[in-house]
Structure 1
Amino acid sequence: MSELITRMKRRGLTSCYIAFDVAVIASLLFLAGLLYVHVYGESVVKHHPEKLVLQESSILMASDGTVLRKIPLPESGYRKAARLEEMPKLLVDTFLAVEDRRFYHHQGLDYTGIARALFNNALRMEVSEGGSSITQQLARNLYLNRDKNMLRKLNEASIALALEKRLSKHDILELYLNQIYMGEGQYGVKAAAEHYFGIADLKELDIMQIAALAGIPKGPSIYNPGEQTELSAQRRALVLDIMHQQGLITGEEMTAALHEEYQRPAVVKEKKVGASYIDAALTEASQLLGKPKQELQSAGYTIVTGMNMKAQGVLEETFLKPELFPPSGKSQQVESAMAIVDHRSGEVVALTGGRNPSSGDLNRAIVDARQPGSAFKPIIDYGPALESGMFSPDSMLPDQKMTYGSYKPENLNGAYRGLVTMRMALQQSINAPAVWLLKQVGIAKASEFSAKLGIKLPKEDRNLSIALGGLHVGVSPLKMAQAYSVFANGGVFREAHMVRQIKDSKGNVIYEHQSNPHQVISPYTAEQMTSMLRSVVNDGTGKRARMNRPVAGKTGTTQLDLPGISRKGNRDLWFVGYTPEWTGAVWMGFDRTDKDHYMMAGSGMAAALFSEVMSKALEGR
């Protein structure tokens, strides 16, 4: 008997020891958990301050206000933020009533709500309620993934407590209402209001619309009003009932809202034009603000450009017509690029870097990579000669075969006239007089003239071959249009630009283009050059550029110059010209020129393309 009692005592002591050990371990685990909850959230919030600055989609607009592109966020959606003060009180109160009624009475964790959710889940034998506060939802959305496990919930609680210490209730609620996913790629109530109801001012939302928005977060894919399903209608009705129960609306208002039918606004599609233009405008805006392009795209900027929608549309439609271009090569098609500048303002009204470009493609309109050929003569030969005061359009120039050291330029057809006027030399694009003229004016003086028009030549181009457009690197169509725009503008330089204005996410203007026109060459030089360039179009090599208004311009061709290939083969075809309104530059050629990829067509095709685009783009002006 005594042995039995002894055993029982031992067992009792062992159980006590085990219970004590378990209690100690549980206490330690509890203390460790408390420490973890305190330290983890603070560390996460402290080391990731960027999470508290919400990214917003930047928007690019054409000159007439047309939205060209809403740039998607990294999560492939759109966000437009609003201050809490911009939101109607009923909207804010409804979200609180639906998502977190005790928001102003807890410090991140609603223990009453959690207990209620646990009780209801136990009754139903399923996880149907989460009990997460608005702060917890914000913590999860900003810092965590959507995995459902105990560690995630612990981390969520920890971050929520840290957010409550660091931010005011006002800031937490504002962040939440701007961060929450609202279905169909929309983030935040402002983006959702515009998307689902076409309403930009949140204070214009009616009761039904507010109920619809407040019902979305529980199931963005099934409860958003755009789905127009029974589920979304039921959810909206449930929210209206909550609004009534909480005293936010009257019974009459609830009944009226229940009977209000949802009408989806007309879809305002982004204009799918201007891929090259938009890429170039973003690059320009990035340089203007001194910010990386990625940051620029997700900072909520509104970038207004000088794009003329009609001109850009005409340009892109015209570039889709294969009959306007030379035949394709063995494995490449002939590419082309064009830039059009309003020389009266400097705004780039239209631009394309290829025949059918996509965002991110090579933008041939802005890359300095092609030889301009004879289209460079007005910039480097005839313009400097007129500006020097030593020559006029009627000056006689020698058209003879000459040698300049190792450089031996030739006329294309091998014919020499002896003497020609400057006007005739430019009109017929004769090489010999152009080189002689550059020699007389001097390469240094001519280079200074070119720089005044926006084309600065490197030291490698300090030679006479530039007289015929043989450049070390090359130029872009945009730079050629910029240069000719000075002739069109009476000798006044206005910087070619795409960005007219930039506003930040709050609507403040942070950049506005300030026109700084300045006289860089004499009005006489510009006037005489325009007269000579009109002769080129009316009676010379640029006849195919003629249209129903005055046109001045110059063709340009660079030869293939490959062994065993006809001398009639060409690498680059150009036409640069202007009307009283706009200046445009066209380039054609292969990206990689070789024995299987060159053109037999002449620069008349570039002139014809210029005429096709400009005549339609300027209709009605």
Structure 2
Amino acid sequence: MSQYGKLMLDRYPEKMILPESSVIMASDGTVLRRIPLPETGYRIKAGLGEMPQLLIDTFIAVEDRRFYSHKGLDYQGIARALVNNTVRMGVSEGGSSITQQLARGLYLNRGQNLLRKLNEASIALTLEKQLSKDEILQLYLNQIYMGQGQYGVKSAAERYFGITDMKHLEIGQIATLAAIPKGPSIYNPVDNLELSAGRRDLVLRIMQQHKLITTEQMRAAMKGPYIPPVKDKTEIVGASYMDAAIKEAMRQTGLSRKELCAGGYTLVTGMNIEAQRAMERAFSQEEAFPPDGKNQRAEAAMVIMDQRNGEVAALLGGRNPSTGGLNRAVTPSRQPGSALKPIIDYGPALESGKYTPDSLLPDIKTTYGSYSPANLNGVYRGQVSMRVALQQSINAPAVWLLKQVGVSYARGFAVRLGMELAAEDNHLAIALGGLHSGVSPLMMAQAYTVFANGGILNKAYLVRSIRNSQNQVVYSHVAAPQQAISVRTAADMTAMLRQAVSEGTGRRARMDVTVAGKTGTTQLDLPGVPGKANRDLWFVGYTPRWTAAVWMGFDHSDPDNYMTAGSGFAAAMFSKVLSML
């Protein structure tokens, strides 16, 4: 009889390893999300030692009082069920032992035909040969479905009572949990409080009959009302952040998404809850965005980093981000416009040692082969200092400067800031932010952290550490700061970028603290569209503590959907969010 059971256990050994919901946490320990299992439920595993003995004894008394004496099949229970089923002319009562229930839950469906019952019995007998009684019981108490999408007693204790340490469960709560397996959808206290209380009282009587509790304890527990856990009214934050963190965790560990999400891992991220909430509050304000298009909503994305260590404090991939949705904050598909000038023009020039912020640059209409860049307002001053050229975002001096330092040198400088451009970007048009594929707000924020941090690059990261279900650290971020550019270059760039905010194009980013930063705008440049139509709006900047990048635009710009506003909207969003921190 046990041959079928041995075959099933040998063929599907993975069934014995119960999937467990992984957890994503913010930097302060706040649980951001408990990831649902493939069966769209939640499980938190626990050892028998974490469970109160009264809970263990109660489940045995209710579900299988002869559990420790039989070898997988409770023949007395089966005989009783056969008599009752014969009277009822059908197969309705199982008489199943805990081991049989475990066998069914792990390997079979919930059908009631005779073949399934025989297979269940075969698997149960094999389980008893391969596992100890305590191992079977522990598996059962972790595997069993407890209603409301909860698998296992620990998950149920947290869901129904808000209790994470099961040793704190009271008698009435234990009875309520033990009442659920008979009918998880009708005997849990959330779906049906009256039926739950009735069956709880039945369990309390069984507990008293087995001398697990006294009569006084039974009566007191019967009078106890169900008190649901206090729900955290704080809104769930960070869908975009958590998506990006999971992808980073997959890269760092080599685990698949399924393994990572259902392996009981704890991902501790660098999310600063206050920064994330500030960003999401600002993004909820309609007036903070440019006008919508004819059939598209104006979109946006933002990233905040701690320039001292590279930690991503907050990230938002859209105005209404959803789990698994488009994450614009990390998708490198946007043209940065003039926000790239510090990275590809002025930074490399300063680093070369041949130029200073006061160096005079030609501001004249110049053609470079087939490339003929123009100043946006058509005005040419003849000559301007580097700091004025950056402050006013003048195009001609920027292109000339890139020509002087060399495209190859400038691209190498960008790499030192963590930004590697595509091979197709080997031309002068990158001086004004014209790239083959584009950049993401995360890439832009990381590059500017180098200016903010004295020339030191700390690569951007979201995941601080990952622990497995045994609380062992399987990954921990290791800081690897690099002096990417000189301290002098970083200081000079910061001084110029501060002036760009205080007196130049970034005025709307001004705050009570000192801000350095740069706007960026890319034109739509389509036939039949006004010349002032824009595609991408940017502001990238930093305060003494935070570096942030803001992008605004449409997912698909076309003659019906384009930006009629300028980058001041992005600068204002920067100020709005960081002013809350």
- Name the TM-score, length of structure 1 as normaliser: 0.90
Aligned to 2:438, the other structure's residue is in SS state coil
| Deviations 1:539-572, CA, capped at 9 Å, x for gaps | 1111111111111100111111222322211111
Letter of the 1:291 partner, please give it. Answer: L
The letter for the 2-side match of 1:196 is Y
Matched with 2:152 is: 188
Do the aligned residues in 1 keep the contact of 2:74 with 2:96 (CA within 8 Å)?
A: yes
Q: Deviations 1:447-477 (Å, cap 9, x if unpaired)?
A: 1110111101122111111111111111000
- 1:208/1:126 CA distance change after superposition, 3 Å: farther
Structure 1 SS opposite 2:572: helix
Q: Which range moved further: 531-540 or 337-346? A: 337-346
Higher mean C-alpha displacement, 389-398 vs 402-411: 402-411
Residue 469 of structure 1 is matched in structure 2 by 433
1:254 maps to which residue?
A: 218
Which residue number in structure 1 is paired with residue 173 of structure 2?
209
Structure 2 match to 1:71: 35
Q: Deviations over 1:243-285 (max 9, x none)?
A: 2222323334333333333322212367322111111111111
Of 288, 293, 299, the match for 1:329: 293
Post-superposition shift, 1:133? 0.6
**TM alignment of 1:228-377, pairs within 5 A:** 229-268=193-232, 271-377=235-341
> Which deviates more from structure 2 when the two are superposed, residues 224-233 or residues 54-63?
224-233
Q: Take 2:566 and 2:199, find their aligned partners in 1: how far apart are those partners? A: 68
Task: Check conservation: 2:172, 2:222, Cα contact below 8 A.
Answer: yes
SS of the residue aligned with 2:2?
helix
* Residue of structure 1 aligned with 2:122, choices 149, 154, 158: 158
Provide the secondary structure at the position in 2 that maps to 1:366: coil
Q: Structure 1 residues 500, 271: CA separation in 2 closer, same or farther (over 3 Å shift)?
A: farther
Tell me the residue number matched to 1:96: 60
Q: Which residue of 2 aligns with 1:608?
A: 572
Is the alpha carbon distance of 1:327 and 1:262 closer, same or farther for their aligned partners in structure 2, counting shifts above 3 Å?
closer
| Contact 2:455/2:485 (8 A) holds in 1 | yes
What residue in structure 1 maps to residue 525 of structure 2? Answer: 561
Alpha carbons of structure 1 residues 226 and 563: separation in structure 2 relative to 1, 3 Å:
closer
3-state secondary structure, aligned to 1:216 = helix
Structure 1 stretches lacking a partner, 5+ long? 1-36
Per the alignment, in what secondary structure is the counterpart of residue 223 of structure 1?
coil
Residues 403-455 of structure 1: per-residue CA shift (max 9 Å, x gap): 22222222112221111111001001111111111111122211111011110
Q: Deviations over 1:275-328 (max 9, x none)?
A: 111111111111111111122111111212222222222212222323222222
> Aligned equivalents of 1:59 and 1:491: distance in 2?
35
Tell me how far 1:392 sits from its aligned partner.
0.8
Deviation per CA, 1:326-374, whole angstroms, max 9, x where unpaired? 2222221221111111112322111111111211211111011011011
Distance 1:219 1:599 in 2: 57
Which residue number corresponds to residue 60 of structure 1?
24
Q: How far apart, in 2, do the equivalents of 1:380 and 1:306 lie?
A: 29
Q: Distance in 2 between matches of 1:236 and 1:127?
A: 26
Structure 2: how far apart are the matches of 1:225 and 1:327?
48
2:461 partner letter: H
Amino acid aligned to 1:467: A
Q: Which amino acid aligns with 2:298?
A: V
Distance 1:212 1:275 in 2: 34
The structure carrying a bigger helix percent of its residues is: 1
Distance 2:233 2:33 in 1: 9
Call closer, same or farther: CA 1:372–1:260 in 2, change over 3 Å: same
Residue of structure 2 in register with 1:484 after alignment = 448
Quote the Cα distance in structure 2 between the aligned partners of 1:550 and 1:392: 22
Q: Tell me the equivalent position of 2:362.
A: 398
Distance change >3 Å, CA 123–CA 150, structure 1 → 2: closer
Question: Aligned residue for 1:82?
Answer: 46
Deviation at 1:495, TM superposition (A): 1.6
User: Deviations for 1:85-144, whole angstroms, at most 9, x for unmatched residues?
Assistant: 222222212211111122222222111210122234456777664210111101111111
The Cα shift of 1:227 comes to: 4.8
- Which of 528, 535, 538 aligns to 2:502? It is 538
5 Å matches for 1:542-621? 542-616=506-580, 618=581
- Segment of structure 1 superposing worse, 403-412 or 442-451: 403-412
1:517 to 467, 481, 490: 481
CA distance in 2, matches of 1:253, 1:323: 60
Contact 1:67 1:270 in 2 (8 A): no
**For residues 476 and 120 of structure 1, what CA distance do their matches in structure 2 show?**
68
* SS of corresponding position for 1:217: helix
Residue 224 (structure 2) pairs with residue 224 (structure 1): no
SS in 1 for 2:83: helix
Is the 2:186–2:192 contact (alpha carbons within 8 Å) kept by the matching residues of 1? no
One-letter code aligned to 2:479 = S
- Bigger Rg over Cα: 1
Contact 1:336–1:589 under 8 Å retained in 2:
yes
1:411 corresponds, among 350, 366, 375, to 375
**Structure 1 position 225, deviation (Å):** 3.4
User: C-alpha distance in 2, partners of 1:187/1:165?
Assistant: 25
Tell me, yes or no, if the aligned pair for 1:66 and 1:271 is still in contact at 8 Å: no
Cα pair 1:478 1:585 within 8 Å, conserved: yes
- TM superposition shift of 1:517: 1.8
Q: How many residues are paired up?
A: 581
Between stretches 258-267 and 378-387, larger displacement belongs to: 258-267
* Contact in 1 for aligned 2:538/2:567 (Cα 8 Å): yes
Tell me, in whole angstroms, the C-alpha distance in 2 between the residues paired with 1:396 and 1:559. 28
Does 1:197 find its partner at 2:161?
yes
CA drift of 1:228 comes to: 6.2
Partner AA of 2:236 in structure 1 = K
Partner amino acid for 1:156? E
Shifted more, 187-196 versus 604-613: the winner is: 604-613
Assess if the C-alpha contact under 8 Å between 2:91 and 2:112 holds in 1. Answer: no
Pick aligned residue for 1:133 from 97, 118, 122: 97
239-248 vs 454-463, which deviates more? Answer: 239-248
In the alignment, the residues of structure 1 paired with residue 234 and residue 90 of structure 2 have an alpha-carbon distance, to the nearest angstrom, of: 44
Indicate the residue corresponding to 2:459 in structure 1. 495
CA contact (8 A) 2:20 2:262 kept: yes
Which consecutive unaligned segments of at least 5 residues does structure 2 have?
A: none
For the 8 Å contact 1:336–1:353, the answer to whether it is kept is: yes
